[in-house]
Structure 1
Amino acid sequence: MTEAQQRDYENLSAKWCIPFSQNHLNYSDILGNTENVIIEIGFGMGQATALIAEENPGTNYIGIEVHRPGVGRLLGEIQRKNLSNLFIIEHDAVEVLEAMIPDNSVQGFHIFFPDPWPKKKHHKRRLIKRPFTDMLCTKLSRFGYIHMATDWQPYAQFALEELNLTAGLKNKYTGFAETNRQRPQTKFELKGKNAGRDIFELVFEKKDGNGI
């Protein structure tokens, strides 16, 4: 961690970090309102996360990340931008969803440029696969969405297949989604573009009770 990240972590984490617990979150108690909740899994250094929260003050955001320098960096961004709609949980995302996130309560999940684990022997470590996608679906509210972006085509195809096979989800598009121009560019996205890789996006929505 840089000195600034360490300072911001020490000074701001008590205010903006939600401690991990085995109890479901009561959003209104923590966030102070009943607006929609969007969860970003693995926000890296958090620049794009802070921009999205700044541009959408009427929506609540919770970022989940285990990389402490990134947590410190995003805490600094929250203070500099005077954000009141963005909180952080510094813990493993799977455990957070299992223990803390109520079913049918999340308007959307953002998963931007997760580790592709390119070697075949490491594919089991990929985040976007069943049964994790089943749990994401369970946590989504009616018509909630999952938005994933990656610069690794094999992972994009793998995720597309896993999401297509997830009961309760439907692809908003016939295949990969159109590029979302409103999504801020992340450091990992720029790195992929500079390496000559294309960007692939997926947007899946939760079906209603009639399977539509």
Structure 2
Amino acid sequence: MTEPKSAANESNDAPENTAETTTRPESSEAPLHRRGIKSYVIRAGRMTQAQNRGLEEIWPRFGLTIADGRQDLDALFGRQAPRVVEIGFGMGNSLIEQAETHPDTDFIGIEVHAPGVGKLLDEVDKRGLTNLRVYREDALAVLEQCLPEGSLTTLQLFFPDPWPKKKHHKRRIVQPAFVELIRTRLMPGGTFHMATDWEAYAEWMAEVMEAAPGYTNTASAETAPYVPRPAFRPLTKFEARGEKLGHGVWDLIYRREG
């Protein structure tokens, strides 16, 4: 999970026995935006001076909105480069590390939690990064309205809210219509990378993806449907603590065909 867990990916509900409460993913015909249903909850949080600085002073240079419309990504970044989108980056530590480590790649982060957006923008400025832009918007709306088809090298979804209770499974972001939308935004050969520390959600993700047309699982026969944790995915403090306690993490990487 992100460090600390993003309010956008956080649930107030205590985990239940998922083996007894798991439902099935929606059909591919289910609409992306069902009335009143979101995969996240926005909660108020205290803002530090640095986070406020990020939102007030740095946002005009690196912030994007749905009102900006469909993006020309080459014009936005001033170059042609691989493009990575991360949904729900929490406090942004992992995304900042990736952008700093891979200056030849352009990154777009999507997060609704104001403190996380502010912190990330503050770090972008302090580290002098130019290859990262940020939306503080609903990810589905950004994908639908702002990102061109076939424009992304990778889409990352790391540790989304598992919504463990059966009655909340409809809130899980990984649904057939969602992964089909992602497929249209990936370039041929582009990858959709998910990670979760909730085994029942990993199984859910695998079920959705195995049924989704136009994707190939990159896992080997020995580890399928999961892949070993790739070295290029930064290890968060939360995940490192979990590993010491014996908690599992499951990575799934699927490639767009064609």
TM range (shorter): over 0.9
Q: 2 CA distance for matches of 1:122 and 1:189? A: 24
Note the C-alpha offset of 1:190.
Answer: 3.7
- Corresponding residue for residue 108 of structure 1: 154
- Corresponding residue for residue 133 of structure 2: 87
Q: Deviations over 1:144-193 (max 9, x none)?
A: 00111110000000001101111111100131011112211124424543
1:186 aligns with 2:232: no
Distance 1:194 1:128, change over 3 A: farther
Alignment of structure 1 residues 114-153 onto 2, 5 Å: 114-153=160-199
Note the C-alpha offset of 1:195.
Answer: 5.3
Note the C-alpha offset of 1:117.
Answer: 0.6
Q: Deviations over 1:121-154 (max 9, x none)?
A: 1111111121100100111101000111110000
1:16 aligns with 2:66: no
Partner amino acid, structure 1, of 2:255 = E
* Highest RCO, 1 vs 2 (Cα 8 Å, sep ≥ 6): 2
Q: Deviations over 1:92-142 (max 9, x none)?
A: 000110111111111100111111111111111111121100100111101
- Stretches of structure 1 that go unaligned for 5 or more consecutive residues are none
Shift >4 Å, 4+ stretches: none
Partner amino acid, structure 1, of 2:115 = P
The two structures have a TM-score, normalised by structure 1, of 0.94
Alignment length, in residue pairs? Answer: 208
Q: Please say if residues 111 and 148 of structure 1, whose CA atoms lie closer than 8 Å, have aligned partners that are also in contact.
A: yes
What SS class does the counterpart of residue 86 from structure 2 fall into? strand
Q: 1 CA distance for matches of 2:70 and 2:101? A: 28
Q: 2 CA distance for matches of 1:56 and 1:27? A: 17
Q: Deviations over 1:47-95 (max 9, x none)?
A: 0100001111111000000001000010011112211101101100001
1:171 aligns with 2:221: no
1:203 aligns with 2:253: yes
CA RMSD of aligned residues (A): 1.4
- Corresponding residue for residue 76 of structure 1: 122
Q: Please say if residues 113 and 188 of structure 1, whose CA atoms lie closer than 8 Å, have aligned partners that are also in contact.
A: no
Q: 1 CA distance for matches of 2:213 and 2:68? A: 27
Q: Please say if residues 108 and 145 of structure 1, whose CA atoms lie closer than 8 Å, have aligned partners that are also in contact.
A: yes
Note the C-alpha offset of 1:20.
Answer: 1.7
Q: 2 CA distance for matches of 1:195 and 1:68? A: 30
Q: Percent of aligned positions with the same letter in both sequences?
A: 38
Q: Please say if residues 174 and 208 of structure 2, whose CA atoms lie closer than 8 Å, have aligned partners that are also in contact.
A: yes
Q: 2 CA distance for matches of 1:195 and 1:155? A: 20
- Stretches of structure 2 that go unaligned for 5 or more consecutive residues are 1-46
What SS class does the counterpart of residue 66 from structure 2 fall into? coil
Q: Looking at CA atoms only, which structure, 1 or 2, has the larger radius of gyration?
A: 2
Partner amino acid, structure 2, of 1:180 = P
Q: 2 CA distance for matches of 1:198 and 1:44? A: 20
Q: Please say if residues 54 and 117 of structure 2, whose CA atoms lie closer than 8 Å, have aligned partners that are also in contact.
A: no
Partner amino acid, structure 1, of 2:172 = R
